[in-house]
Amino acid sequence: MTIMIYTKDNKTINTLTKEAQLNFSKNNLDIITPKEIDDIMTFLKKNGQNIDILFFDIDFSFFNHKTLHLIEKSKKISYVVFIAGNDSLLPECFCSKTRGFLKKPLTSDKYFKKTLLFLKKIIASKKNNILCYNYYGEKKSINVNDIEFIKAFGRYSNIICTNEEIFISKNIGLLEDNLCETDIVRIHKSYMININFVKKIKSRYVILLSGKILPIGAKFSKNVHNLLQNS
């Protein structure tokens, strides 16, 4: 996943970077911080990489309808969130890719974290289904929203869904990579959970809505607690 932050305000960059790392997988997160608007255009023309979310600070650029048109027409930009110190300017930035308006300082904007969670859900919705092969070699399509938790079995994994269990020939490490931009998170070397099925979290375990109790590994504890407290 690629996030581009266009601003010359270091506080805004640091705040966005910190929250992005909490809301999206660090292992597959690429954060780019161009200094000039021309750098954005150069990146789009020369780099094969797509931008999943562009955070655009209009206080540090000559922003006009031409700039908005370029963002709108670019096939490499999925969504854009505009940032400004004066929110009276933000309505002028609306386009079909706009998914939020934020006011600086971001730490004082009550919609900041809600906007990031909204973006996370949008990105996740693009990857609602995973394709895999079960133990018998049959191809299966699994809706991520139906997954309650995943348990590791060596080179295999058992996916427990709301209406079935599927034993697949893929280890939990590979599944973690495949599901990095969804609500499925690693909580233990042997377990991943869907945070939407969590009823309660304790220091060393989680209780799911079904009543199942799963352990939280020490290695994953800090990240799990941060994610669940922000969800």
pLDDT tens per residue, range 4-62 = 999 999 999 999 999 998 887 655 688 999 988 888 888 877 776 788 899 999 887 66
Q: 199: how many CB neighbours lie within 10 A of its CB?
A: 11
User: Can you give the pLDDT at residue 121?
Assistant: 81
Answer yes or no: is pLDDT of 122 > 90: no
Residues 4 and 54: beta-carbon distance below 8 Å: yes
pLDDT band at 105 (very low <50, low <70, confident <90, very high): very high
Average pLDDT of the chain is 87
User: Most distant CA pair in the chain: distance in Å?
Assistant: 59
User: Can you give the pLDDT at residue 73?
Assistant: 86
Across the beta sheet with 205-208, the strand order is: 198-201, 205-208, 213-215
User: Can you give the pLDDT at residue 101?
Assistant: 92
User: Can you give the pLDDT at residue 179?
Assistant: 84
Region for residue 129 given its phi and psi (left: phi exceeds 0; alpha: psi -120 to 50; beta: otherwise): beta
Question: For the chain, what percentages of helix, strand and coil (3-state, to nearest 5) are there?
Answer: 35, 35, 30
User: Can you give the pLDDT at residue 230?
Assistant: 64
pTM: 0.57
User: Can you give the pLDDT at residue 59?
Assistant: 86
The backbone torsions φ and ψ at residue 42, rounded to the nearest 5 degrees and listed phi first, read -65, -40
Which pair of structure tokens corresponds to residue 173?
């490490």
- Residue 129 in 3-state DSSP? strand
Answer yes or no: is pLDDT of 3 > 90: yes
Same fold yes or no, 2-125 and 129-230: no
Answer yes or no: is pLDDT of 135 > 80: no
Q: N- to C-terminal Cα distance for the chain?
A: 20
Which residues on adjacent β-strands are paired with residue 132? 140
Whole-angstrom distance, CA of residue 44 vs CA of residue 26: 23
- Residue 163 in 3-state DSSP? coil
Whole-angstrom distance, CA of residue 151 vs CA of residue 158: 5
- Crossing angle for the helix pair 112-125 and 10-23, nearest 10 degrees? 50
Q: What is the pLDDT of residues 164-195, one digit of tens each?
A: 999 998 899 988 877 877 889 999 999 999 99
User: Can you give the pLDDT at residue 25?
Assistant: 66
What would the mean pLDDT of 103-131 be, rounded to a whole number? 84
User: Can you give the pLDDT at residue 125?
Assistant: 66
User: Can you give the pLDDT at residue 42?
Assistant: 85
Q: Domain 2-125: give its CATH code.
A: 3.40.50.2300
Whole-angstrom distance, CA of residue 141 vs CA of residue 159: 12
Q: Where are the domains positioned within the chain?
A: 2-125, 129-230
β-bridge pairing 191-194 and 147-153:
antiparallel
Q: Give domain 129-230's CATH architecture.
A: Beta Barrel (2.40)
Q: How far is CA 2 from CA 17, 143, 179, in A?
A: 12, 24, 16
Which pair of structure tokens corresponds to residue 138?
């049959």
Answer yes or no: is pLDDT of 229 > 60: yes
